[in-house]
Structure 1
Amino acid sequence: MIADDLDLQIIDLLTSNAQLTNKEIADRVGSTEITVANRIRDMEARNILRVVAQRDVKTLGLDLIALLDIYVSQRSPEEVAEELSLIEEAASVSVLLSDPDIFLQLNVRDHQHLLEVIETKVAAVKGISHWAANLSLEIIKLDLRYGTLGARN
């Protein structure tokens, strides 16, 4: 069993407010504080749940989101993606089933910073045959409730 009804209730409450105490959660789900604490600890250990602080890219001065389609040759996409994931500005690196081979999200300050990251960091990764960039004008929806908790950071 991955997660039962109590686990899902705890997840829903923490998703809506990650600052709830175990006692507050227990009161709302009709359980004990100890049970809630144990459930949270167990879900974290099984990579079902992770409570994290989230940074706002805009307040950090990262006003530009670039979405790069990366095409790979003479190296495996997994190897290239692993190397791209080491770039500090890389918010997300995904290996894809078809073209492009990799999807890379960069959070950068401005156009100059984007150019610098592409020229000095992305271009330095061996195996990239070519890439195409898209610039995000506006984020309409960004659902951060889901992610791969076992992902390498």
Structure 2
Amino acid sequence: MAQKIADGIDRRILNELAANARLTNNELAERVGLSASACLRRLRRLEETGIIRGYAVLVDPALEGWTMTAIASIRLSRQHDDEIRMFEDAVRSWDEVIECQLVTGSRDYVLTVMSAGLESYERFIKDKIAKLNCVDTIETSFVMNTIKSRKYGLGR
């Protein structure tokens, strides 16, 4: 069973780290109104219980040559274990896919795909997704602008 956030202080710790995971313990303690030792104890508990699963570096996609984001909705031809495994294994190996979610509704998966542009995305579809026999349909929407992005951080 997943752990829950204990109180408002834990939530403030998580908010501060979501905004800047490189804060020192002393800076974090000052921002949330705790002593350094109390803050460190709470931080360790949040890590040990799995509430904090890790720390990450956010890289500008443009520096990778990725200037276009596409949302690809995929429907598999059948819901057989071997086809599901084939699709998921393939997706895990593709650098262009930055996120893949199994969803309900008329589609089976939603992929967030980064590419260098329309030609690059077309190659990705033709050379990778369309070559999987388990894929029935692919429907793509292109991201025009990101209004909000908060990957598992908490709101203020």
What residue ranges of structure 1 are gaps of 5+ in the alignment? 148-153
Partner of 1:84: 91
Figure out how many residues of one structure are paired with residues of the other and give that number. 147
Partner of 2:25: 22
Q: Is the 8 A contact 2:14 2:153 kept in 1?
A: no
Give 3-state SS (helix, strand or coil) of 1:107's partner. strand
> Comparing both structures, which one devotes a greater share of its residues to helix?
2
Structure 2-normalised TM-score? 0.81
Partner of 1:150: none
1:136 matched to 2:143? The reply is yes
Partner of 1:51: 55
Partner of 1:8: 11
Partner of 2:43: 40
Equivalence map 1:70-149=2 (5 Å): 70-74=74-78, 75-76=80-81, 78-79=84-85, 80-146=87-153
Cα shift at 1:78: 4.5
Residue by residue over 1:20-79, the C-alpha shift from the partner in whole angstroms, topping out at 9 and shown as x without a partner, is 110111123332323323332332333312321111212332101111110112335753
**Structure 1 residues 146, 19: closer, same or farther in 2, change over 3 A?**
closer
Tell me whether 36-45 or 48-57 shows the greater mean CA deviation. 36-45
Task: Indicate the RMSD between aligned Cα atoms, in angstroms.
Answer: 2.2
Q: Is the 8 A contact 1:81 1:94 kept in 2?
A: no
What percentage of residue pairs aligned between the two structures are identical? Answer: 21
Measure, in 1, the Cα distance between the counterparts of 2:120 and 2:48. 38
- Picking from 50, 61, 65, the partner of 2:65 is 61
Structure 1-normalised TM-score? 0.82
Give 3-state SS (helix, strand or coil) of 1:85's partner. helix
Higher relative contact order (CA 8 A, sep 6+): 2
Give 3-state SS (helix, strand or coil) of 1:119's partner. helix
Partner of 1:151: none
Residue by residue over 1:114-145, the C-alpha shift from the partner in whole angstroms, topping out at 9 and shown as x without a partner, is 12211222123331111111111222222224
Q: Is the 8 A contact 2:10 2:42 kept in 1?
A: yes
